[in-house]
Structure 1
Amino acid sequence: MDPALNGMNIAILVTDGFEQVELTEPKKALEAAGALTRIVSDKFDKVQGMNHDQPGDQFTVDLLLREADAKAFDAVLLPGGKVNAAALREMDEAQRFVQNIEEDNKPIAVICHGGWLLVSAGLVEGRTMTSFPALEQDIRSAGGNWVDQEVVVDGNLVSSRTPEDIPAFNDKMVEVIANRMQEHLRGTGDEHAVGLAGS
Structure 2
Amino acid sequence: MMQTLCTLRRWLRGLEPQVRARLEGSWLARFQPWLEQRAMFRFQRQPLARGVAAGMFCGLIPGPLQIPGTLLACAWLRGNIVAGGVATFYTNPLTTVPLYAAAFYLGALVMPGEQALPAWSSVSPGGDFSVQALATWMQALGTPLLVGLPTLAVVMALLGYTTVQLLWLVPALQRKRRWGRCC
TM-score (normalised: structure 1) = 0.27
- When Rg is computed on C-alpha atoms for both structures, the one with the higher figure is 2
TM-score (normalised: structure 2) = 0.29
More strand by share: 1
Does 1 or 2 have the higher relative contact order (CA < 8 Å, sep 6+)?
Answer: 2
